[in-house]
Structure 1
Amino acid sequence: MLPAHDYAPAPETPADIYAAYLVHLQRRDRGNTAYTQAARSFLRRWPQAQTWADIPLEKQLAANCSTRPFVTFLMVSRRLRPGYDYLVCRKLCSLWHELTDSCLQPDLDQFMTAAMELGFSERVSSAIGSQIIARLLIQTGRPLSDLRESDLQELLHACDTRQARTGRGAKHYRSTTHSARQILFHLGILDTQAPPAATALSLEERMADVPATLRPAFVAYLNRKHATCVPKTVSSLATRLAQFGRYLAAVDPTLTSLSQLDRRRHIEPFITSLTTAVNSVTGEPITVADRIRRVHAVGNFLAEITEWGWDDAPPRRLIFRTDLPRPQRFLPRYLPVDADRKLTAALSSSPYRLAADALLVQRACGLRIGELLDLELDCIHEIPGQGSWLKVPLGKLDSERMVPLDEEVLTLVDRITTTRSPGRPMIHPRTGAPADFLFTHHGKRLSQNAVREELNRAADTAGLGHITPHQLRHTYATALINAGVSLQALMALLGHVSTQMSLRYAHLFDHTVRAEYERALDLAKSHIGGLPTTGRQLPITDVTGASWKDSPAIKSRLAGGYCLRAAAQGSCPYANICEHCPSFHTDATHLGILAAQRIDAHDLATDAEQRGWIDEADRHRKLIARLDTLIAQSAPA
C-alpha cells in the first residue's frame, strides 16, 4: 500500500502491484482464488495499469465481479485514473470499505469533518464524499487542497454525457456537487461560494411568450429598470409584463409595435380580462391588489417609454388612474393572543431549532422576513445606559433602524450563534461585500422557504390555520399598539417612512373609539330609567317557558334574584363580589342557599362554555371553587 500522502507513486512492476493487492485483501479479510486469478489476468494483459483507461467504456463496464474489486483497489491506491465517464457509471457501493487505510482516506476524513461542522448529517456527508470528492481525488490524482472548480465541471459534464447516452438522470450528482462546492469554499479550497441551486431564467427567456416583434422593447425596458430598482422588483415587473405580452399575442397576433397599441382594442379589454384572471399557482381568481399591480406595471411601462422618447412607444397615454379598481382596505392580519401563545410554544419545542429561532426573533422584533435573514453576527449593539439594541439592515424601504432588545431575545440570539453553521464570510447579495450572516445552515444562508416550511409545521402542531411570516410582524405591532405605544415610536420600530403605514395598526384598537362607545352606552342606560311597576314584562329568553338560566345573556345568581346582561356588555365586574370578599362570613344556617347557588353556578358555567364565552365560564368556575370553600368551612363538625 502507498504511503498516506504519496501522490506520485514510483513506477511499479506487476508483481509489486499484485503483492500490494494481496495485502489489501488480507487487511479487509475478503477475497478468494477468483479475485487473485482476476488480478493476475488483468496485470498480464495490462502490465501498466493506467493503459486500461484507454479501452472503450463498454469493455471497462463489462468487467466481471471478480475483476471490479481489483479495479477499485487500483483507483483508491492512485494506480489508475479511469476517466470520469467510467466513474459516473460505476456505483462503487463498497468504496468506503476500500478506502480504509488508503492514501485517499486523510483527505476524505478532512472533508467529512468540515461537512458535519456545517450541519450536514453523517449520512449526507458520506454521500457527498463518495459521490463527488472520492471520484475527484481518484481522477485528478491531486490532494483535496488542490481541487479546482474545473474539476467539478468536468465531473458534471461526464454526468450530462451519460444522461444523453443512457437516459439516466444526473439530479443526485448535481445536488451533491452543489453541496460539495459549498463545503470546499468554507475549507478555503475554492475561492467562490456555490451559486444558487436553481438558476434564474434570463429576461429573454422570461419574455419567450411575448410576440417576437415586441420582445426587444420588453427586454430593453426591464434592463433599464435594473438601474433604479432592486432585482426582486425587476423580477416582479417581468412576471406582469410577460402576462401582458401573452395577452397581446392572443388577442392581436398581427401587432408589430407598441406604437400601434389602441386603448379600445387592446388596453380596455386587457383591464377587463383581469376580473376573470386566475392565479397560475393556486387556480383561484387573482386578488384586487394583484389586479392593481398588473395594471400599474403595464401603465408605468407604456408611460415611461413614451416619456423616454422610444421610437416604438405609444404616441399618447393609454392607462389612467381611473382604470385602477378600488383597493380593499384590510386590517393587518395579526394573531390573537391565544394563537400567538400556542404558536410560540410550538416553535419553542421544535426540533428544527435554527428556523424556529429565526421565527421567534421575527416575532420578538417585528422584522420583515428579508430583514431577518439579512441579519449579521454583529447585529447586537450594547449602548451604555441604553441596554441592547438590534441593528436591522437595509430592507424593503432601503432604511436601517435600531430595535431595543430584552434579555429573552439576547438569550435567543446566543442560542442561534451555537446552532448556526460556521464558515467563511459569504457575499452579500445586496452589497457584494463579504458578510457573516447570523442565520446559516449547511454553509449557506437560511432560505425563506425553510423558514416558511417551519412556520407551517409549527402552525399545524399548534392546531392553527395557515400563517405567513409577515403576520408575526403584524402581531408585534398590534401588541405595541395595545400597550399604548405612540405613533412616532411605532414608526421607528417598524421602519415605516410614512404615518399612513403605521396608522393601519392604530385603527385596529382605537382607544378613543372604545371610550366613546362606552360613554354612549352608559348614557343610553341612564335614559332608559326605571322598569315599569305594572304591566306585563317582556320574556327574558328566546324560548317560551325556558328558565332564566337558559337565556342568551350573561347571567349571575344573586342572593335575592339574578342579573342578566347583554353579551356585548361583557361580564359585570361586581357580580358575586360579596362571596369573594374577605369580610364575607356564613354559617350552617345558610348551607341550603349556598348549595343552591352552587348548582346554579355549575349550570351557568356549562351554558357559557356552550356559547363560547370562555371568560364567563371561568368566572363561574372560580365562584364554584369559592362556594366549595365556604360550604366546607360552614359544615357542622
Structure 2
Amino acid sequence: MQLAPDYAPTPEPPEAIYAAYLQHLQRRQRGNSAYTQAARSFLRRWPDVTAWTAVPLGEKLSANGSTRPFITFLMVSRRLHPGYDYLVHRKLASLWHELTDSALQPDLDQFIAAATQLGFSERVSSAIGSQIIARLLIETGRPLLDLSERDLRDLLRACDDRERNTGRGAKHYRSTMHSARQILFHLGVLDSPAPPSMIASTLERRMADVPAALRPAFVAYLERKRATCVAKTVSSLATRLAHFGRYLAAVDPDIASLNSLDRRRHIEPFLTSLTSAVNSATGAPITVADRIRRVHAVGNFFAEITEWGWDDVPSRRLIFRDDLPRQQRFLPRYLPVDADRKLTVALSDSPYRLAADALLVQRACGLRIGELLDLELDCVHEIPGQGSWLKVPLGKLDSERMVPLGEEVLTLVDRITATRSPGRLMSHPRTGAPADFLFTHHGKRLSQNAVRAELNRAAAIAGLGHITPHQLRHTYATALINAGVSLQALMALLGHVSTQMSLRYAHLFDSTVRTEYERALDLAKSHIGPMPTNRPQLPLTDISSGEWKDTPLIKSRLAGGYCLRAPAQGSCPYANICENCPSFHTDSTHLGVLAAQRLDAADLAADAEKRGWIAEAERHHALVARLDMLLSRSKSA
C-alpha cells in the first residue's frame, strides 16, 4: 500500500516546469531533442506531475532512457515524490550529477560532512547519502533535520517488500541504513543511536532443543539468574545448559521432568560425552576448562533450584565434586621480550591508528579488553604531586582502580583523542547512563572484533602467529614482576581481589627459586673437583705441524687446553658456559689467564668470520665482551 507523504505540493503550470527543466539541462551541458520531447510528452499526459505517483509500479519502471532524466529532475527539485516502492527499485547512479544547485544538495552536503567527521570515508559517505538519505529527502519532501524514525522504517519496509516480491536481497540497504541511523543520531535528528546489528536470541529460542517438558524450567532458571548476574554471564550459562539439554533430547527425548533424571542413565553418560565434544566454531575438541564450566553450570542449576524449593527438582544429588576433570594449571602466556618489542613496532607502524593505539594502551596499562573499551574521554586524572593516573572503569570483577601513567601513554591518549570520532553521548552498556567513550569510530564504540583483527594483523606482520589481547595484560604483569614489584602493588595495578590471582605471575620468576638454583649450582661445581689432565687427543686432525687456532675446525679455548669439533658437529652448547654463568667469579690474580683467553677468542672470531661461520663468530664476540667486563671488574677490585 502506498503511504501518504507528509507534504502538500503546490500545483505548478507545465510550462514553468518545462522551462526549469531546460535551464537544468543547459546548466549541466547535456540533453538533446529526445530529452525535451520526452519531457513534453510526460507533461501532456500528466500536467499535474504528482498524478504520476498513482501509476502502477511496472509502468513507472518501464520509462525509457529519455524520460528517466526528466523524472530524476522532478525528484531532485522536490516536484515529484514517487513512492518508496519506485525509489528502491530504481537505480540512482546519476543522482549526484543531477544534484548540482538542486534543492537536495545542501542537506546532502550537511549529511556527508557529518559522516566524514565520524570517520567514514568520502566514498562510503556518498554511498550512504545516495542510497538512503537522498531517497528519504525525495519522498518526504522535508529537510534533513526534520527526518524521523518513521521515515527510515518506511524505507526499510519497502526494501523488505521488494525482497519478497522479486527475491532481490536488501542486505546492502540494511547495512547502509544502520550507518545512516548512527550519523543521524549524532546530527541530533534521531533520539537514539542505531541498535546493534546483531540482536541476541531470546532465552526461549536458545532453549529450543531442550526436551519440551524441561524447557520451562531451563528458561525460568536463566530468567532468575538475570537478577544477580550480568547479561554475558547469563548468556554463557544459557550456552552450557543448552548443550546439556540437547544431550538429553538425544538420549531420552521423552523425559517428562527433572525429577526423573537418573545419575547412571543420564548424568554419567553426559560426563563421558564431554571428553569427545567439539567446539562448534573450530571443530577442535573442547578444552578441559570448558568441560569444567559445563559440568559446573549443570551442577549449579540442580543445586540452586533445589535450594530455592522449586517443585520439579531431581530426587537426589546428581553432580559431585569428583565429576570435575583435573584443572590444567598453565602459567600466564606472556610475550617474551623480543616478541613484545616486535609487536610494539608493528602496532606503532599500523595505518589503523585507533585500534592499534588501543592495543598499545592495553599493553602499557595491563587492562582487560572490556575495561579498555569502556574507558571514557575523561579517564586521565592529574593528581598534584602524584603525576597522571588512568581511571580504569568497572570490569570483570566489578571494581574500579587507578593505574599510574608515563609520558608515552599520555602521548598515546592525546593521539587517540585526535583520532576518535566525536559525536553525541552514548548509553553505557552497564548502567544505561550517557557516556563519552574514548574509543569511538563511525559514531560507535570500537568493537572487540576490530581490536582483535588489528592484533592479528600486527602479529602476522611481526611474524608472531596468533596472539590474544589478554596476552598483553599477561606481558604487562610479567614485566612488573621482573622489575621487582611487590605482590600488593601488582594486585592493585591488575585489579585482582585475591592474592591467588596475582601469585600466578609471581610463580613465573621466583627470586627465591633462582637463588636456590645458583646455590645448588655452586655446590655441584665444588664437588666436581679438578678436571683430569693428559687426556687423549681426539683424532679429529693432526695439529703437530701447525697452530691449533688455524685448523679448519670449530674451536674453543678452555681453562686447561682447547676443544676441537668437526664443522658438522656444530658449536658445543657447553663451550664457555662457565665464563657466562652468573655464578662465575674472578679476581686480579687471574688477569693474565683472562687476557690470554680474550686474545684467543678474538683470533677465533676472526677465523670464523673468514670461514663464513657467522653464528660461531657471534659466540666468540660475545665471549670477548664478557671477558672485557670481567677484566674491567677485576682491575677495579
Question: TM-score scaled by structure 2?
Answer: 0.89
Tell me the residue number matched to 1:69. Answer: 69
Give the deviation of 1:570 after TM superposition: 7.6
2:601 and 2:620 in contact (8 A); partners too: no
Tell me the residue number matched to 1:328. Answer: 328
Tell me the residue number matched to 2:272. Answer: 272
The alignment status of 1:447 with 2:444, answered yes or no, reads no
Q: Which amino acid aligns with 2:101?
A: D
Tell me the residue number matched to 2:377. Answer: 377
Tell me the residue number matched to 1:345. Answer: 345
SS at structure 2 position matched to 1:133 = helix
Tell me the residue number matched to 2:580. Answer: 571
Tell me the residue number matched to 1:43. Answer: 43
Structure 2 unaligned spans of 5+ = 1-6, 564-571, 630-637
1:459 and 1:467 in contact (8 A); partners too: yes
1:362 and 1:369 in contact (8 A); partners too: yes
Tell me the residue number matched to 2:501. Answer: 501
1:557 and 1:600 in contact (8 A); partners too: no
Cα deviations by residue, 1:439-473 (Å, 9 ceiling, x for unpaired): 00000000000000000000000011100000000
Tell me the residue number matched to 1:238. Answer: 238
Counting matched residue pairs gives: 603
Q: Which amino acid aligns with 1:344?
A: T
Residue 347 to residue 182, structure 1, CA distance change in 2 (3 Å): same
Give the deviation of 1:310 after TM superposition: 1.5
Tell me the residue number matched to 2:84. Answer: 84
Which region of structure 1 is more displaced relative to structure 2, 524-533 or 59-68?
A: 524-533
The match for 2:622 among 606, 610, 619 is 619
Q: Distance in 1 between matches of 2:283 and 2:542?
A: 50
The alignment status of 1:312 with 2:318, answered yes or no, reads no
Q: Which amino acid aligns with 2:198?
A: A
SS at structure 2 position matched to 1:255 = coil
Tell me the residue number matched to 2:185. Answer: 185
Give the deviation of 1:204 after TM superposition: 1.2
Give the deviation of 1:11 after TM superposition: 2.5
1:604 and 1:620 in contact (8 A); partners too: no
Residue 513 to residue 623, structure 1, CA distance change in 2 (3 Å): closer
1:73 and 1:98 in contact (8 A); partners too: yes
Q: Distance in 2 between matches of 1:328 and 1:123?
A: 51
SS at structure 2 position matched to 1:389 = strand
The alignment status of 1:420 with 2:423, answered yes or no, reads no
Give the deviation of 1:308 after TM superposition: 1.2
2:608 and 2:614 in contact (8 A); partners too: no
1:602 and 1:620 in contact (8 A); partners too: no
Residue 138 to residue 565, structure 1, CA distance change in 2 (3 Å): closer
Give the deviation of 1:520 after TM superposition: 0.3
The alignment status of 1:528 with 2:544, answered yes or no, reads no
Q: Distance in 2 between matches of 1:246 and 1:594?
A: 70
1:605 and 1:617 in contact (8 A); partners too: no
1:605 and 1:621 in contact (8 A); partners too: no
Tell me the residue number matched to 2:632. Answer: none
Q: Which amino acid aligns with 1:381?
A: H
SS at structure 2 position matched to 1:246 = helix
Q: Distance in 2 between matches of 1:185 and 1:416?
A: 22
The alignment status of 1:516 with 2:516, answered yes or no, reads yes
2:77 and 2:102 in contact (8 A); partners too: yes
Give the deviation of 1:566 after TM superposition: 3.2
2:602 and 2:621 in contact (8 A); partners too: no
Q: Distance in 1 between matches of 2:464 and 2:232?
A: 31
Q: Which amino acid aligns with 2:212?
A: A
Q: Distance in 2 between matches of 1:546 and 1:8?
A: 110
SS at structure 2 position matched to 1:424 = coil
SS at structure 2 position matched to 1:360 = helix
SS at structure 1 position matched to 2:382 = strand
Cα deviations by residue, 1:376-430 (Å, 9 ceiling, x for unpaired): 0000001111100000000000000000000010000000000000000100000
Tell me the residue number matched to 1:33. Answer: 33
Tell me the residue number matched to 2:162. Answer: 162
Which region of structure 1 is more displaced relative to structure 2, 202-211 or 616-625?
A: 616-625
Tell me the residue number matched to 1:363. Answer: 363
Tell me the residue number matched to 2:4. Answer: none
Tell me the residue number matched to 1:302. Answer: 302
Tell me the residue number matched to 1:633. Answer: none
Structure 1 unaligned spans of 5+ = 1-6, 627-637
Tell me the residue number matched to 1:147. Answer: 147
Residue 504 to residue 572, structure 1, CA distance change in 2 (3 Å): closer
Give the deviation of 1:317 after TM superposition: 1.7
Give the deviation of 1:270 after TM superposition: 0.4
Residue 565 to residue 111, structure 1, CA distance change in 2 (3 Å): closer
Tell me the residue number matched to 1:632. Answer: none
Q: Distance in 1 between matches of 2:203 and 2:595?
A: 83
1:426 and 1:436 in contact (8 A); partners too: yes
1:604 and 1:617 in contact (8 A); partners too: no
Q: Distance in 1 between matches of 2:611 and 2:515?
A: 30
1:477 and 1:490 in contact (8 A); partners too: yes
Which region of structure 1 is more displaced relative to structure 2, 294-303 or 567-576?
A: 567-576
Q: Distance in 2 between matches of 1:417 and 1:609?
A: 50
The alignment status of 1:460 with 2:460, answered yes or no, reads yes
Give the deviation of 1:531 after TM superposition: 2.7
Q: Distance in 2 between matches of 1:576 and 1:83?
A: 93
Matches within 5 A, 1:181-220: 181-220=181-220
Q: Which amino acid aligns with 1:433?
A: A
Q: Distance in 2 between matches of 1:533 and 1:13?
A: 120
Residue 416 to residue 52, structure 1, CA distance change in 2 (3 Å): same
SS at structure 1 position matched to 2:102 = coil
SS at structure 2 position matched to 1:404 = strand
Give the deviation of 1:577 after TM superposition: 11
Q: Distance in 2 between matches of 1:219 and 1:470?
A: 32
Tell me the residue number matched to 2:248. Answer: 248
Tell me the residue number matched to 1:481. Answer: 481
Residue 490 to residue 433, structure 1, CA distance change in 2 (3 Å): same
Q: Which amino acid aligns with 1:514?
A: R
Residue 396 to residue 19, structure 1, CA distance change in 2 (3 Å): same
Cα deviations by residue, 1:544-588 (Å, 9 ceiling, x for unpaired): 779999xxxx9853698448883776825779999xx99x999xx
Q: Distance in 2 between matches of 1:119 and 1:303?
A: 51
Q: Distance in 2 between matches of 1:546 and 1:454?
A: 60
Q: Distance in 2 between matches of 1:591 and 1:182?
A: 70
